[in-house]
């Protein structure tokens, strides 16, 4: 494991050596924890090709996949601070934590959305514009939403029917206040662990469960030390494609529209690419010998009730006006 990390770091350092001036006018180093061979990586490769082609080679894009440049929060801060990276794709919770934009925690409130259509509606019509404005103040340009999906529970000991079942496990939590508050409300001991360290923690028994999407759990290999996947779908987690605002501002006016146009060309494509895989991924888990369990509405009801205080606890921090706008939009949509 240490050797692997050493060579990963060495590779990243070598790839970050400056390009010759004749190679490109602008370089964009793009970091993500998305593993190679996933729809996320495929889309990022398409974005890279699109940017390089439309800029006629004036922008050189280098992708750093699989967390080779560090954990999500670390990479977000690197972009803000003008470090090695100029862009990245991260979960909204990671950007909220790394960039100190609490409003980005709103879409990850537990059991906020009933379905994907609700999530898309809130993200696109209620949250995108105000959050883009907030992120600009932190030195980040929000380009577009990307897709992570529904987070559910992976556990070693048993499938989850009750709060007591979940409380038997020590869970890994994402480095995010809303995620930590959720586990506290559920009465579960949870350890915040950066993405690159999770598989090792699961293998060693530091934690014996985690929550994430079916795609990330499978692509990262995190599922392997666990035996049960309970489809709680307790958090819908979007991701965000972000750029350094100062890097974007350094581009000449004829290149900026290439970055500005990514939302229109790529956002819907990214959502569809991930969502279309869900049934195949669940079938794969079963072939790997995992138990996939879908809780009943009655079983999930105590979970939903237990996390309601999280909304009130974080409302002011996330922005009471924006939280209320999201809840109002959902109420109006459900009344139609």
Q: Sketch out the chain's domains with CATH numbers.
A: 2-335 (3.40.190.170)
Tens of pLDDT, residue by residue over 208-256, are 999 999 999 999 999 999 999 999 999 999 999 999 999 999 999 999 9
- pLDDT classification of 13: cutoffs 50, 70, 90: very low
Tens of pLDDT, residue by residue over 45-54, are 999 999 999 9
3-state helix vs strand vs coil in the chain, percent to 5: 55, 20, 30
Distance CA 105, CA 178 (A): 6
- pLDDT classification of 123: cutoffs 50, 70, 90: very high
Dihedral of the CA atoms 265, 269, 271, 273 (nearest 10)? -160
**Treating both helix axes as pointing N-terminal to C-terminal, what angle do 297-306 and 308-318 enclose, rounded to 10 degrees?**
40
- pLDDT classification of 23: cutoffs 50, 70, 90: low
Q: Give the model's pLDDT for residue 24.
A: 75
Lowest mean pLDDT among 15-19, 66-70, 268-272: 15-19
Q: Is the pLDDT of residue 17 over 90?
A: no
Q: Give the model's pLDDT for residue 261.
A: 96
pLDDT (average), residues 173-202: 96
Average pLDDT of every residue of the chain = 93
The helix (run of H) or strand (run of E) holding residue 29 is strand 26-32
pLDDT (average), residues 263-273: 94
pLDDT (average), residues 204-211: 97
Q: Give the model's pLDDT for residue 16.
A: 52
Q: Is the pLDDT of residue 181 over 90?
A: yes
DSSP 55: T
* In the block, residue with structure tokens 């990245």: 88
CB-based contacts of 181: which residues, under 8 Å, 6+ apart?
A: 310, 313, 314
Distance CA 162, CA 155 (A): 13
**39, two tokens:** 């729809």
CB-based contacts of 206: which residues, under 8 Å, 6+ apart?
A: 170, 191, 193, 200
pLDDT (average), residues 62-84: 96
Q: End-to-end alpha-carbon separation of the chain, Å?
A: 54
DSSP 197: G
Distance CA 331, CA 335 (A): 6
Least Cα distance to 275 among 32, 36, 43 occurs for 43
Backbone dihedral angles phi then psi of residue 115, each to the nearest 5 degrees: -160, 175
- Enter the pTM of the model: 0.89
* In the block, residue with structure tokens 């090709």: 49
pLDDT (average), residues 160-167: 98
Find how far residue 64's CA is from the centre of its chain: 16
The helix (run of H) or strand (run of E) holding residue 145 is strand 140-155
- β-pair type (140-155, 190-192): unpaired
| Region of residue 150 (phi > 0: left; psi between -120 and 50: alpha; otherwise: beta) | beta
Tens of pLDDT, residue by residue over 184-198, are 999 999 999 999 999
* In the block, residue with structure tokens 């930590």: 180
Tens of pLDDT, residue by residue over 128-160, are 999 999 999 999 999 999 999 999 999 999 999
- pLDDT classification of 22: cutoffs 50, 70, 90: very low
Percent of the chain past pLDDT 70, that is, above it, reads: 93
Give the total residue count for the chain.
336
The helix (run of H) or strand (run of E) holding residue 324 is helix 320-335
The helix (run of H) or strand (run of E) holding residue 220 is helix 214-220
């Amino acid at each position: 494991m240490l050797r692997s990390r050493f060579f990963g770091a060495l590779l990243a350092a070598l790839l970050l050596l400056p390009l010759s001036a004749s190679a490109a006018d602008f370089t964009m180093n793009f970091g993500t924890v998305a593993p190679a061979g996933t729809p996320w990586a495929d889309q990022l490769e398409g974005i890279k090709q699109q940017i390089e082609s439309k800029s006629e080679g004036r922008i050189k894009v280098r992708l750093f996949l699989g967390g080779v440049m560090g954990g999500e929060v670390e990479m977000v801060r690197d972009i803000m601070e003008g470090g090695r990276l100029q862009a990245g794709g991260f979960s909204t919770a990671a950007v909220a934590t790394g960039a100190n934009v609490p409003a980005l925690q709103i879409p990850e409130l537990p059991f906020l959305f009933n379905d994907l259509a609700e999530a898309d509606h809130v993200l696109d019509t209620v949250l995108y514009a105000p959050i883009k404005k907030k992120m600009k103040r932190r030195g980040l340009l929000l380009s577009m939403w990307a897709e992570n999906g529904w987070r559910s529970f992976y556990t070693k000991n048993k499938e989850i029917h009750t709060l007591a079942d979940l409380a038997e496990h020590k869970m890994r939590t994402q480095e995010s206040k809303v995620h930590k508050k959720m586990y506290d409300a559920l009465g579960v001991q949870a350890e915040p662990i950066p993405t690159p360290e999770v598989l090792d923690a699961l293998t060693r028994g530091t934690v014996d469960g985690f929550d994430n999407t079916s795609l990330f759990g499978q692509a990262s290999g995190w599922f392997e030390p666990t035996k049960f996947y309970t489809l709680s779908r307790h958090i819908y987690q979007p991701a965000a494609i972000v750029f350094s605002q100062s890097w974007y501002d350094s581009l000449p006016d004829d290149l900026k529209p290439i970055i500005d146009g990514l939302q229109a060309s790529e956002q819907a494509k990214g959502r569809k690419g991930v969502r279309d895989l869900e049934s195949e991924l669940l079938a794969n888990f079963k072939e790997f010998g995992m138990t996939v369990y879908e809780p009943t509405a009655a079983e999930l009801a105590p979970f939903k009730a237990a996390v309601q205080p999280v909304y009130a606890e974080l409302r002011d921090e996330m922005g009471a006006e924006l939280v209320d706008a999201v809840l109002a939009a959902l109420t109006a949509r459900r009344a139609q």
